[in-house]
Structure 1
Amino acid sequence: MSGGDSDKPQMLDINISTDPILPGPHDISQSRAAGPTQPHLKLFPRTMQGDRKRAFNKSWYAQHQWLEHSASQDSAYCFTCRHFSLPGVQETSFTSPLGYSNWKKAMYKDGGFRAHEKSENHVNSMLAWSEHKRRILTYTSVLSVLDEKHQKLVEQNRAYIKTVAEVLLFTALQNISQRGHIETDASTNKGNFLGIMELIAKHSPLIDKKLKAVGNAKYTSNIIQNEILACLSDMVRESIISEVKENTFFSIIVDETKDLKKKEQLSIVLRYYYNGAVHESFLDFKQATELDKEGLTQKIIQCLERYGLEYRSNLVGQGYDGASVMSGRHSGVAASIRANAKHAFYVHCKAHCLNLVLVDSTKSVPESETFFSLLQKLYV
């Protein structure tokens, strides 16, 4: 070599993911990632060299990190020269398929391993190996930092979503409205949900940061609120259905009423025995487009089938009001369901019986009759 830098080792720019196919035995390193193959055998093969039998010594690994040994060939090889040499470098005994096996001269001061370590190609390959390990370490460190930041972000997002869900659950359990009429930043009354979230934000930097973020997902819109409430209701419903299935037998209580838009809807309640007590749990609302026997029966059966409740053999009771379409012995919903579920005996709803008593009682008081008649006319 010539020039001012002729005595300086050349730095190699080697792609750490590239592993060329190398000649040699199968029981030494086949890739850079594998590292030197350094088996610690109890007894290495002994061959006659000079005046006595000699063998490879495993203590040489500690002195020469680049050294690897093939048990099948009983030969030594240089890991770095095999994987990190410059293209076109002349092959040596430490890189040839047969390897180096002159154990007599292995530890000579001017021969064997030490002579190989002084060669220019080995010095360059060792520098390349060091650079390779540095890149791997740096890459791993960067991945570790990114993973740590990602994990922290995931935990923060989960904590925020959990807070949103808990506030919605609280307002639902307290039976108070979530949203206000005007929910803009300038509004002095944004409703219960946003009001509670802003109160929590005063004591939580994380919640405050999320609520004040610009162009970020805040999960406070009415659509998100409804989706979270739907998820919470699904969780409650799954728990109820699990309790019913564990007990096997159940009854249903169904009533229809008009909502605020004056649309008829069925409210379906399950009555069952669980954990030593009788439970009545709301199952679902279903809009009733057809109010005849067939339409109402189909809605009830579809609801039970949707949630996997076996009604043909496990439904043992049904309770409705006294309307003929529901309680009729021949043309009512009770009779129609009884045709499919033979154990589903009909019981007139006691709450409706009490309601009829109250209605008849108020009719004997003119002032009350006038008052409720006026309320009915206003509603209509």
Structure 2
Amino acid sequence: MAGRQKRITSFFTSPTRSLSTDRDRNDDQTPSVAQGDDSHSTRSDCDTHCDPPESKKKKTTERKFQESWRNNEKCSNWFEYNSEKKHMHCKICRETGKQNTFTEQSGCENFRTSTLDRHMRGSDHLQAIEEVALRRSFDTAVNRALSENDQGIISAMQSVYWLAKEDIATRKYESLLKFLKLQGVQTVDKLRIGQNASYTSRQTAEEMQDAIGKVIANDIQKQLQESEFVSVLSDESTDISVSKKLVMYVRVIEEDFTPKTRYIGNVKVKDGTAETIATELKINLLEKHRVKPSQLIGFGSDGASVMRGRKNGVSVRIQREVNPYLISIHCVAHRLALCTSQAADGIPYLKKYRQTLTDIYYYFKRSAVRTEGVKEIQAILDDPSLKYKEVHDVRWFSFYAALETIYRTYGSLVTYFRSVAEKTPVAKGLNDDTVRICCYDTPTHGCYPDSNTPEYGISVR
């Protein structure tokens, strides 16, 4: 029985041992084998349990841009984000020309806080910050220096402009700057650059005048071109150097339809003929200031024959050569002056009146002793200290100035004439003429210097 039982056991255990041997033999070819819980499982069960397990996939979280980075104190001054392309850039590194991920066109796409920290600690970024700081400090210093120099130049140009407006010689420019400095105008000190450049010379003042003149001329030219219509006012005269001059003004219409008068020049001409004046007007208006012929619609003058001659006057030439629709206007003030002067020539009393004013002027002009004598009497009688003025036929306001002087110093004038009448017959005659014209020819009342009666025709004070 024992031997039989042994054979049965051997029969059942041999296949299992053989299967185990086959498994051991195939271990080198199979990555791994899963063993079943049952040691007596079949071949098909082994194949099922020997398949390799699926690899575990590593889960990654997609990183995104954080809006809080924009307002971060450490990043706000250099950080830039392109929301369309989803790129990060460093504007400071870009400004200074650094080469790194944050300056490339594609930018940085690694949205990590640690990425930003590494960039801020990087040598490129730190150098870029230092360069920008130095550059800004330099720019600030330069701008401050330029601003101070500009203030000095502005003060100097205002001084030059004031001298021109007040008809003061340009050679007084340096003296004026010294006076302003004494008055505590600190901007004048800003004109000096280094040890030599002070910009206080007469040549500097003349250059500033030229610059101011060009700016004004450009503004006037712009107004001329923008104005729909233009009128020119012109007159010729001879200056103190016996040179013939032609002065020109224009009337323009501004945007609000307000007429404005602008000075455009006082040019030297070879003579005062109509041909020369008309040519000069065309050169200055049509060529120099680019006024269109259709814009020029008015011409104003003093009414002289050379200006308004019916055949070859300046106005007729401009109508013929520039604009046939031009309107020529005889100055109203000149017409009034001509009317009054010509009318006065026909009245003996008015002729004598004007002649007396002229004689009084020349009586005191020729003698310093007489001038001092009348000034002493003016001081005693508490009259204003005034010089007697000449009457000019071509200067309308001169008549008023001469008459006003006599009106305000009448008492002193008559007193002086009477004090010297016994020694100087001319003074006696001027005294009689002065009393006569001021008393409206009523000599019987005996006009005394302190009189204030209606018979004088004027009041002394």
TM range (shorter): 0.5 to 0.7
Equivalence for 1:210: 191
Q: Report the structure, 1 or 2, having the larger strand content.
A: 1
- Give the drift of 1:159: 1.2
1:309-328 residue pairs with structure 2 within 5 A? 309-310=291-292, 312-328=293-309
In the TM superposition, residue 338 of structure 1 has moved relative to its aligned partner by 0.8
> Deviations 1:256-310 (Å, cap 9, x if unpaired)?
1223323221111112344344332222221112322221111101110211211
Instruction: Tell me the residue number matched to 1:100.
Output: none
1:267 aligns to what? 247
- What is residue 165 of structure 1 aligned with on the other side? 157
1:154 to 146, 153, 158: 146
CA distance in 1, matches of 2:244, 2:317: 20
Is 1:345 paired with 2:337?
no
Is the partner of 1:158 in helix, strand or coil?
helix
Do residues 33 (structure 1) and 98 (structure 2) align? yes
Q: How does 1:1-380 map to 2 (within 5 A)?
A: 33-36=98-101, 39-40=108-109, 61=115, 130=123, 138-173=130-165, 175-179=166-170, 190=175, 193-194=176-177, 197-199=180-182, 202-204=184-186, 206-210=187-191, 214-218=195-199, 220-274=200-254, 275-305=256-286, 306-310=288-292, 312-339=293-320, 340-357=322-339, 360=342, 361=344, 364-365=351-352, 366-367=355-356
CA contact (8 A) 1:164 1:197 kept: no
Is contact 2:160-2:170 (8 Å) kept?
no
Cα RMSD for the two superposed structures: 3.9
In 2, the alpha carbon distance for the partners of 1:285 and 1:249 equals: 22
Residues 65 and 292 of structure 1: is their aligned pair in 2 closer, same or farther, counting only changes over 3 Å? Answer: closer
Instruction: Mark the CA change 1:250 to 1:34 in structure 2 (over 3 Å): closer, same or farther.
Output: same
Q: Distance in 2 between matches of 1:147 and 1:298?
A: 54
Instruction: Note if contact 2:233-2:300 (Cα within 8 Å) is conserved in structure 1.
Output: yes
Relative distance call for 1:261 and 1:355 in structure 2 (3 A) is farther
| Secondary structure, counterpart of 1:252 in structure 2 | strand
Q: Partner amino acid for 1:327?
A: R
**277 and 252 in structure 1: CA distance in 2 versus 1, 3 angstrom threshold:** same
**Structure 1: distance between partners of 2:219 and 2:114:** 67
Separation (CA, whole Å) in 2 of partners of 1:163 and 1:33:
45
The 2-side partners of 1:172 and 1:301 are apart by: 28
Gaps of 5+ in 1: 1-31, 43-57, 67-125, 184-189
Instruction: Find the aligned partners of 1:194 and 1:351 in 2 and give their Cα distance.
Output: 42
CA contact (8 A) 1:325 1:333 kept: yes
C-alpha distance 358-237 of structure 1, shift in aligned 2 (>3 A): farther
Q: Deviations over 1:92-133 (max 9, x none)?
A: xxxxxxxxxxxxxxxxxxxxxxxxxxxxxxxxxx9xx84x76
Q: Classify 1:64/1:195 alpha carbon distance in 2 versus 1 (closer, same or farther; 3 Å).
A: closer
- 3-state SS, counterpart of residue 256 of structure 1: strand
Q: 1: CA distance between counterparts of 2:205 and 2:117?
A: 67
Alpha carbons of structure 1 residues 195 and 257: separation in structure 2 relative to 1, 3 Å: farther
Identity %: 18
Residues 179 and 194, structure 1, Cα contact 8 Å, conserved in 2: no
What CA distance in whole angstroms lies between the structure 2 residues aligned with 1:160 and 1:59?
A: 53
Taking structure 1 as reference, are residues 195 and 359 closer, same or farther at Cα in structure 2, changes over 3 Å only?
A: farther
Look up the match of 1:105: none
In 1, are the aligned partners of 2:156 and 2:188 still within 8 Å (CA)? no
Which structure is higher in RCO with an 8 Å CA cutoff and minimum separation 6? 1
Residue identity matched to 2:290: G
Is the Cα–Cα contact under 8 Å of residues 168 and 178 in structure 1 kept in the other structure? no
CA distance in 2, matches of 1:245, 1:59: 64
Residues 8-45 of structure 1, C-alpha deviations (whole Å, 9 max, x = no match): xxxxxxxxxxxxxxxxxxxxxxxx92114674269xxx
Q: Is the 8 A contact 2:119 2:125 kept in 1?
A: no
Higher helix share: 2
User: TM-score, length-normalised on structure 2?
Assistant: 0.47
Instruction: Report the CA distance between 1:156 and its aligned residue.
Output: 1.0
Q: Partner of 2:21 in structure 1?
A: none
- The answer to whether the 8 A contact 1:252-1:319 is kept is yes
* Aligned mates of 2:260, 2:118 — CA distance in 1: 77
Name the amino acid aligned to 2:323: A
Q: CA deviation at 1:164?
A: 1.6
Q: Deviations over 1:296-333 (max 9, x none)?
A: 111101110211211x2121111112332221111211
Deviations 1:129-155 (A, max 9, x none): 84x766655554443333222111111
Deviations 1:59-110 (A, max 9, x none): 77468669xxxxxxxxxxxxxxxxxxxxxxxxxxxxxxxxxxxxxxxxxxxx
- Unaligned runs of at least 5 residues, structure 2: 1-96, 366-389, 392-461
User: Structure 1 residues 367 and 279 mapped into 2: Cα distance closer, same or farther (>3 Å)?
Assistant: same
Q: Per the alignment, in what secondary structure is the counterpart of residue 280 of structure 1?
A: strand
Specify whether residues 196 and 261 from structure 1 end up closer, same or farther in structure 2 by C-alpha distance, changes over 3 A only.
farther
CA displacement at 1:182 relative to structure 2: 9.8
Structure whose alpha-carbon radius of gyration is higher = 2
- How far the C-alpha of 1:167 sits from its partner, in A, is 2.6
Give the AA of the match of 1:269. Y
